[in-house]
Amino acid sequence: MVDKHVVITGGAGFIGSYLTGQLLHEGYHVTVVDDLLYGGESLLSYLPNELFHFVKADVCESRAIRASIRSDWAKPQAVIHLAAIAGFPTCQSVGRLVAWRYNVESTQHVFEQTEALGVDRFIYLSTYSNYGLSADGEPVTEETPLNPQSLYAETKVASERYLLAQTEGSTCAPMIFRPTTLYGLSPRPRFDLIVNQFVFDAYIRRKLMIYQRGYSRSFVHIADAVHGIILGLQSPVESIRGQVFNVGAERGNLTKDQVVKLILKRLPETRIQYKDITFGGNMRDISVSFKKIQDELGFKAKYSVDDGVREILHALQDGLIREPSDPRYRNARFIVQ
């Protein structure tokens, strides 16, 4: 039997594959449930590890989680639900019915199975996209009213509302993280995330096309986001029941022009073009407060966007990712900056 066991849905993805490695390093038994929409290469290095168990399954199925549990391992202490159709353009491309099935109905199925298994906590990865536009220009907090501007954010808000409604009557404690825009390297690289994409375009194409130039976004390194999730996993269960946490760092609140300056510092030959185009459904001009996660979970971000630019650039220069233009490194073909 095992003492520490966590189930991760979507464990082959950008966040999940990184989180899996960190938990294995900390001695957790990890069960990954994933349908491998973007392939499973990110999990290959974990297969020889006796603490790792993989199950290929669609989390929309009513028994996917219950069927994944090994009989010779103890019940999980937590289910971390990452599986989703992630991102504004991807949800737009698959349509409302599909996006709702994979992002909302699957959350309900997974939570119901988690509760039936007697698991103590359910950790859900939402998004700061739920805030939409900042009404007064002040940093948004977890108490700021949600104003989703896209189908993707609508599905995340719906899942949050479902989970928070279970807080009082369930033996399983739900908690929600709202990470900001991610960047950095993962076992499943992505080049459709703003910082990663900007570095890719500047290095490979020698040019950047910037939309919504003056808009502010908030950014967090994948390692810091995963650190925040693990802090939630290891906190006393009653202290996190029904709690929502923004995940990021104040120094990650940047305009796109500020991100471009970081790119130009290392790739000064890059040509910059601007287009005054807005994309309905993905309007975000926002800065975020992270006081709650700092005060209550002791979270402190380690990395800056400049660190991420350097990390991605070195990986491309060294040829660590042989074909970075391959579609498998993007969730959608048409990427909105």
237 confidence band (pLDDT: 50, 70, 90) = very high
For residues 161 and 93, state if they share a domain.
yes
277 confidence band (pLDDT: 50, 70, 90) = low
For residues 135 and 204, state if they share a domain.
no
Partner residues linked to 174 by β-bridges: 122
Model confidence pLDDT, tens digit, residues 39-64: 999 999 999 999 999 999 999 998 99
Enclosing H/E stretch for 65: helix 64-68
The answer to the question of residue 113 being in a domain is yes
End-to-end C-alpha distance for the chain, whole angstroms? 47
The answer to the question of residue 299 being in a domain is no
For residues 228 and 88, state if they share a domain.
yes
- State CA 231 to chain mean position distance: 15
For residues 212 and 178, state if they share a domain.
no
For residues 196 and 81, state if they share a domain.
no
Angstrom distance (rounded) from CA 311 to CA 313: 6
Residues 6+ apart with CB under 8 A from 311: 184, 185
Angstrom distance (rounded) from CA 176 to CA 128: 11
Cβ contact 83:102 at 8 Å: yes
3-state helix, strand, coil in the chain (%, to 5): 40, 20, 40
Model confidence pLDDT, tens digit, residues 63-79: 999 999 999 999 999 99
Model confidence pLDDT, tens digit, residues 300-320: 999 999 999 999 999 999 999
The answer to the question of residue 292 being in a domain is no
| Cα–Cα nearest to 34, from 51, 59, 6, 68 | 59
Model confidence pLDDT, tens digit, residues 66-113: 999 999 999 999 999 999 999 888 898 889 999 999 999 999 999 999
For residues 13 and 84, state if they share a domain.
yes
Enclosing H/E stretch for 191: none
For residues 144 and 171, state if they share a domain.
yes
For residues 34 and 17, state if they share a domain.
yes
Distance set, CA 256 to CA 144, 244, 299 (Å):
23, 27, 25
Is the pLDDT score of 333 beyond 60?
Answer: no
Cβ contact 288:247 at 8 Å: no
DSSP class of residue 181?
E
CATH number for the domain that contains residue 323: 3.90.25.10
Residue 145: domain span? 5-182+220-247
CATH number for the domain that contains residue 137: 3.40.50.720
- Whose structure tokens read 């309905």? 280
Segment 158-178 mean pLDDT:
97
The answer to the question of residue 99 being in a domain is yes
For residues 259 and 147, state if they share a domain.
no
Strands 271-275 and 207-211 come out as: parallel
Residues 6+ apart with CB under 8 A from 132: 146, 147, 148, 149, 153, 283, 284, 286
Q: Is the pTM of this model over 0.75?
A: yes
Strands 216-221 and 253-255 come out as: antiparallel
The answer to the question of residue 101 being in a domain is yes
- 10 Å CB burial of residue 164 (0-12, 13-18, 19+) is middle
Angstrom distance (rounded) from CA 1 to CA 215: 51
The answer to the question of residue 293 being in a domain is no
Number of structural domains (the chain) is: 2
**What's the pLDDT score for residue 18?**
98
Segment 262-275 mean pLDDT:
95
Angstrom distance (rounded) from CA 208 to CA 270: 7
Segment 5-33 mean pLDDT:
98
The answer to the question of residue 298 being in a domain is no
Return mean pLDDT, the chain.
93
For residues 71 and 169, state if they share a domain.
yes
For residues 169 and 107, state if they share a domain.
yes
- 10 Å CB burial of residue 108 (0-12, 13-18, 19+) is middle
The answer to the question of residue 160 being in a domain is yes
For residues 30 and 125, state if they share a domain.
yes
Query: What are the structure tokens assigned to 173, written together?
Result: 């404690």
